[in-house]
Amino acid sequence: MASPSQKRLQRELKLMQSEPPPGMTVDHEEAMQDLTRWIINVEGAPGTLYEGEHFQLQFKFGSRYPFDSPQVMFTGQNIPIHPHVYSNGHICLSILTDDWSPALSVQAVCLSIVSMLSSCKEKKRPLDNTFYIKTCHKNPKKTKWWYHDDEV
């Protein structure tokens, strides 16, 4: 008696295993224990500033997923240094809030994050990093993001 959102998550988990985005692997065991919290291991893509680095993404799904966007942030020891990634792991990416659509998926979000990292030309934190991490809510979705322009 899985709810519609659980059913979809199970399908997505299967897809993430059979067709994972390049350089990404989902921690299947952890996801099986709690379908609403996934950890995805990310490898810095070869030929980019992040080559050889390892990151972890955390996805949290609410009961209204996929109508509501998942909560996505970097977690773990190594947070990528990127103009749209705060040092607490929060990511400034419009599809995670305003531009979310239920036709998007974990895969689509992952691909977006990979391309965000890959297009980076200079490793630096967002300008307002110090202020933001002092004042922000724990949940990045509670942030009223002011989206940076797309040039990185």
Partner 1 sequence: MATSSGSEPGPSREGEENKEKDERMFECNICLDTARDAVVSMCGHLFCWPCLHQWLDTRPNRQVCPVCKAVISKDKVIPLYGRGSGKQEDPRNKVPPRPPGHRTEPENTNGFPGFGFGDGGFQMSFGIGAFPFSFFTSSFNFGEPRPNPAPVGTPQFGEEQFLSRVFLYIACVFILWLLLA
Least Å distance, CB 152 to partner 1, is 23
Candidate ranges 3-11, 26-34, 51-59, 83-91; the one touching partner 1 (CB under 8 A): 3-11
Candidate ranges 6-14, 38-46, 48-56, 74-82; the one touching partner 1 (CB under 8 A): 6-14
Helix axes 106-118, 4-18, angle to 10 degrees: 50
Structure tokens at 109: 């979000």
Is 7 among the residues that bind partner 1 (CB under 8 A)? yes
Known catalytic residue at 136: no
Are 107 and 21 in contact by the 8 Å Cβ rule? The answer is yes
Q: Hunting for tokens 């391309």 — which residue is that? A: 115
* Listed residue (55, 95, 96, 45) closest to 75, CA to CA: 55
* Listed residue (74, 62, 75, 71) closest to 8, CA to CA: 62
Which of 11, 121, 124, 142 touches partner 1 by CB under 8 A? 11
Which of 46, 67, 119, 128 touches partner 1 by CB under 8 A? 67
Least Å distance, CB 99 to partner 1, is 9
Is 12 among the residues that bind partner 1 (CB under 8 A)? yes
Residues of span 83-122 touching partner 1 by CB under 8 A: 101-105
* Listed residue (25, 29, 18) closest to 42, CA to CA: 25
Which of 27, 43, 53, 68 touches partner 1 by CB under 8 A? 68
Segments of 6-141 assigned E as strands? 24-26, 37-43, 54-60, 71-75
Is 4 among the residues that bind partner 1 (CB under 8 A)? yes
Amino acid letter, 35: L
Interacting residue ranges for partner 1, rule: CB under 8 A: 4, 7-8, 11-12, 66-68, 101-105
Q: Which residues are catalytic?
A: 92
